[in-house]
Amino acid sequence: MFQNRYEAADFTIWRGRIDSRENYDAFRWHQWIKSLDLRQPIGEFTGKMGFALLGFCCDEGIIRNNGRKGASSGPEGIRGELSNLPCSFSSEVSLFDAGNITCTDGELMKSQVALEQAVFRLRQAGLFPLVIGGGHETALGHFRGQADFLRQKDGKCQLGILNFDAHFDLRPFAGGGNSGTMFRQIADDASQWGEMFHYFCLGIQRSSNTLELFKTAQQLGVDYLLAGDIFTNNDEHIIEKLDYFMQLVPHLYVTVCADVFASSFAPGVSAPQPLGLHPEIVLKYLKHILRTKKVVGFDIAEVSPRFDHDRATASLAKVIIFAVVDTLCRLKGLAR
């Protein structure tokens, strides 16, 4: 299953300005990133810190959810924006492009299982997964890959989810999963494993979630902040809520759905939000989360180049990914 849904990295995407071919201080990501073929034995990473980009080229969850398809091209679009980022980290940091998991036959669950296996391999190798979607159904495969690794390593998962999103994505999935069911599926996984479901969602829009979804969130013990509450509450209140949640678990998984942002910043999404969050607000809380040193994986989803304006949404995803890498490197004393 994994082999049939995996593509090695296309390095024709990784191109851009070259200020120097010898001076590392002038390097950009396209000059530093290396290929990592997950079909081959990887071995354990022995460097100071290693990041692995992994694409999930999938629209099937969005199609099933009656959304605007186009996110399957997100990984390519985001990589194109990442190419010219400066290498603001030490040369002891490694960047890898681990290729893509694809879904071209409508078999969503098979592709999510392949993503799960790919994330598991990256964690086994000692690399930090940076997964780029694809629809937000990306989250199910990514989370399960992390959970598989933690259960093998520690005997239990204990992985909290922090989701920046306008939607709970807690809908029923009796007819099959889609881009609005992932966290309900994860809640069921937790129940089957006899584990707690730890989920915090920031940026919820009242106009984008039914009353039933709010009731489901309450029943499952989900913590959340409305987008309006983030606008009106002071930082101290929000940080206090975040800190309380984060102290409950030893590991955190962070996922960003691009529709959490105001459409003026992120027009290229399946479900635009005119009154979504400002990117600076998200970056502030994202960096606070990363500074706990508990985050084991990150992804960003729902970037649809076909609806983008001047690549604004892909460029925003680039800035978010840069912030993740830069913050984690600073925490290890590996920033320049």
Instruction: Report pLDDT digits (tens) over 284-335.
Output: 999 999 999 999 999 999 999 999 999 999 999 999 999 999 999 999 999 9
Q: What are the DSSP calls for 301-317, one per residue?
A: E---GGG-STTHHHHHH
* Torsion sign (Cα): 207, 210, 213, 214: positive
- Nearest alpha-carbon partner for 168 in 155, 181, 158: 181
What region does 4 belong to: left with phi over 0, alpha with psi -120 to 50, or beta? alpha
Q: For residue 141, tell me if it sits in a domain.
A: yes
Q: What is the token pair recorded at 55?
A: 């694409």
Q: Tell me what pLDDT residue 314 has.
A: 98
Classify residue 336: in a domain, yes or no. Answer: no
* Residue 207 tokens, joined: 């106009």
First to last CA, the chain: 41
Q: Does some domain include residue 327?
A: yes
Q: Which helix (H) or strand (E) holds 82?
A: helix 74-82
95 CB-near residues (< 8 Å, 6+ apart)? 29, 32, 33, 34, 50, 51, 53
Domain containing 83 equals: 3-331
Pairing relationship of beta strands 295-301 and 223-226 according to DSSP bridges? unpaired
Q: Is residue 136 part of a domain?
A: yes
pLDDT surpassing 90 at residue 156: yes
Residues 274, 49: contact at Cβ < 8 Å? no
* CATH number (domain holding residue 53): 3.40.800.10
How many Cβ atoms sit within 10 Å of the Cβ of residue 131? 28
Residues with Cβ within 8 Å of residue 180, at least 6 apart in sequence: 61, 65, 136, 167, 169, 171
Overall domain count for the chain: 1
Assigned domain for 152 exists: yes
Distance CA 259, CA 313 (A): 10
Would the pLDDT of 1 be above 90?
A: no
Residue 122 domain flag: yes
Tokens of 171: 């809908």
What confidence tens digit (pLDDT) does each residue in 249-292 have? 999 999 999 999 999 999 999 999 999 999 999 999 999 999 99
Give CA–CA dist 177/189, Å, rounded: 13
What confidence tens digit (pLDDT) does each residue in 19-73 have? 999 999 999 999 999 999 999 999 999 999 999 999 999 999 999 999 999 999 9
Which residue in this structure is represented by tokens 């027009």? 267
pLDDT digits (tens, 9 = 90+) for 99-130: 999 999 999 999 999 999 999 999 999 999 99
Q: Which of 150, 122, 93 is nearest to 6 (CA)?
A: 122
- Nearest CA among 143, 149, 237 for reference residue 199: 143
Residue 3, pLDDT score: 77
Q: Which two tokens stand for residue 208?
A: 């984008």
